[in-house]
Amino acid sequence: MEMENNKCGCWSVLKRGVCKPSASRQSPNTIPRTSLVHDAATETRYLNASNRELCAPNEVRLSSDNPDPPPPQENKAPCQLLQFTFQELKSATGNFRPDSILGEGGFGYVFKGWIEEGGTAPAKPGSGVTVAVKSLKPDGLQGHREWVAEVDFLGQLHHPNLVKLIGYCIEDDQRLLVYEFMTRGSLENHLFRRTVPLPWSNRVKIALGAAKGLAFLHNGPEPVIYRDFKTSNILLDTEYNAKLSDFGLAKAGPQGDKTHVSTRVVGTYGYAAPEYVMTGHLTAKSDVYSFGVVLLEILTGRRSMDKKRPSGEQNLVSWARPYLADKRKLYQLVDPRLELNYSLKAVQKISQLAYGCLSRDPKCRPNMDEVVNALTPLQDLNDFAILSYHSRLSQQGRRKKKPDGTTHISYTHSKSMRASPLNTGRHLR
């Protein structure tokens, strides 16, 4: 993409739509002497940190010994992004106060803050624009390399199902990113950390939105492989629209006649495709496998890896695969907290789709466009299992004549509302 004659403040626009500081102008909001790519010693420190295991429960980060090629040796940042000073973000978050923390991960903390609309100045809490500020920990699992990748990808990619990156801060050893605020948090919280179950209609809507986000990444002029698709990286707005976040591990897809990208193995155990873990060969079908895992989590209400469960049930894919392949048993997979409030046909279709996405042969997996096409009609299905359950009860009712000539219908109720409407046995917890 040629954009060499355009200007964006102090940034001269280069090929690929990225920017670097021009020599003629400087302003308080330009990148300082410190480059986006810092010295070798610091880079080594970040890489060593990124090879540690994540200590969050039920989640282990994957990392091989072979590093990726270093980031591009140039200053760059997409011109539409705002550059904040550290002091501005410190004020916007109330001095990074603990009660403003939205979440924590291998990268560091995410804080809630407020900024003036259209600018970088901090605003009073409850006024202006609400934002999420991610602060990179120097000794965290994600380092400068991942920070650059996030700015590079999210600064240039725009889609309704990708979280919007508003700006960044690079000041001395401080690395921060500023995003749009996602009101309802992550899909992970709704599936696993709340007592009220996520309704079936919202689950289908979220799965479709996330699929559209991945399809957009895979089908662009310069394909992108997300590489870390999981429930904690799917954020939700007020209307439960899904948006993909955290592009620190994203990679440019294969170019030309290349079939894959060879790279170090990183990601989260339980979500990564087996062929990628074994060979380091990364393709769009690696993301499709991860999508299949998340689809299973949405269907079952179980985590991809759960050490609290019996040994044969800790790995969700291994445990669920036999049920997905048997139409008589697949209803036993459905999250029991839904209590039959789900579409029978949608469960069938989603189970079939998950089974295809989780194929051991990457070539047999669907592409994300096919996934989107399969999920789209499922939003409108209303053949809920609870209706089938009551229908079966009415059919089993016994008609008895009363002395006055009226008819009395008695019903034979099952012991549990969680019984399968198709007599497939009880739901599995």
* Annotated binding-site members for ATP: 134
Catalytic site residue from 39, 99, 152, 228: 228
**CB-count burial class (<10 Å; 0-12, 13-18, 19+) for 371:** buried
Helix (H, G, I), strand (E, B) or coil at 389: helix
Closest among 59, 106, 105, 52 to 316, alpha carbons compared: 59
User: Do the Cβ atoms of 284 and 275 come closer than 8 Å?
Assistant: no
Nearest to 142 by CA among 182, 98, 104: 104
Dihedral pair phi/psi, residue 419, rounded to 5°: -65, 145
Binding residues: 134
Is the separation of the CB atoms in 303 and 339 below 8 Å?
Answer: no
228 is catalytic: yes
Produce one character per residue of 338-357: b if its CB has 16 or more CB atoms within 10 Å, e if not.
bbbbbbbebbebbbebbbbb
Q: Where are the beta strands (DSSP E) in 27-155?
A: 61-63, 82-83, 101-105, 108-115, 129-136
Find, among 156, 158, 188, the residue nearest to 268 by Cα: 188
Catalytic residues: 228
